[in-house]
Amino acid sequence: MVYTALITPFLNGKVDYKALHKLIQRQIDMKADGIVILGTTGEFSTLSDYERKKIIRFCVNNFDFYFIFGIGGNSPKHIIKLGQYIRRFGNYTVLISSPYYNKATQDGLFQYFKYVIDKIQLPVIVYNIPTRTGVNIDPQTMRQIAKLPYVAGIKEASGNIAQIQEICRTVSVPVFCGDDNLALPCYAVGCTGIISVASNINVENVKRIYQDRNLQLYQKELPFYKSLFQCVNPIPVKYQLSKMGLCQNELRLPLTPLVSEE
């Protein structure tokens, strides 16, 4: 499976819904298997609750497609309210990262996911991205979390292949690669798909690498993948999409647009 972690386009400080419609339709036309809305690449942390809810309504009202909605944050009550709002529209999958800044213990992480998942009661992809959250979900903790009701998958973006291999080996839910740079190694150790930034630009090549385990294509694409992460995501990918005429090169502070020297 190839799911695209979609950007959120802005125009003059507001969400650009015309560009968002175009980007979603483009993903459908390119045959992505699903789209992650309001993830890290979607700059969820600088969107208000009103904006998040409006984006969710826009997606479900305009497209019959497989959406995964990011509801990351660090306040359980806030995340639960957003998850329960999504539940009004159907049994949509949600992506929940470990809480950032709080720096929970491993037991705290387990209790956190147990609590919010029980209140939301939607399919959940558990998202481990320690470079953003400050805390790694260790494999033994992830095993516990993966046994909880409603856990439908794991997105692993720790960058640690040994850890990813251990998780793939010991859980019964799908594990998705969360880093385009490590796509082929992750498939080799058991990942069953990818949540990709690169597929914002081109789904076909990301799919070919996934479906065919195509080493030659993967090696050819690596410089491009690395360029997408040479500075903070989604700065480079939004720049590239703007050069393609698909959105404005506009981000929200503290992120700033790519400059010519970069």
Closest C-alpha to 195, from 35, 81, 72, 15: 35
Q: Where would I find the beta strands (DSSP E) of 157-209?
A: 175-177, 193-196
Report yes or no: 154 and 167 within 8 Å, Cβ to Cβ. yes
Cα dihedral 162, 164, 165, 171 sign: positive
* Beta carbons within 8 Å of 149's beta carbon, 6+ residues apart: 117, 118
Residue 101 among the catalytic residues: no
Closest C-alpha to 126, from 147, 105, 108: 147
Residue 115 among the catalytic residues: no
In one-letter notation, the amino acid at residue 180 is D
Q: Is 147 helix (H, G, I), strand (E, B) or coil?
A: coil
Give the active site residue among 155, 225, 238, 239.
Answer: 155
Report yes or no: 84 and 48 within 8 Å, Cβ to Cβ. no
* Beta carbons within 8 Å of 213's beta carbon, 6+ residues apart: 184, 187, 188
Give the active site residue among 3, 127, 210, 225.
Answer: 127
Beta bridge partners of 230: none
Closest C-alpha to 227, from 216, 251, 243, 211: 243
Rounded to whole angstroms, the Cα distance separating 97 from 89 reads: 22
Active-site residue list: 127, 155
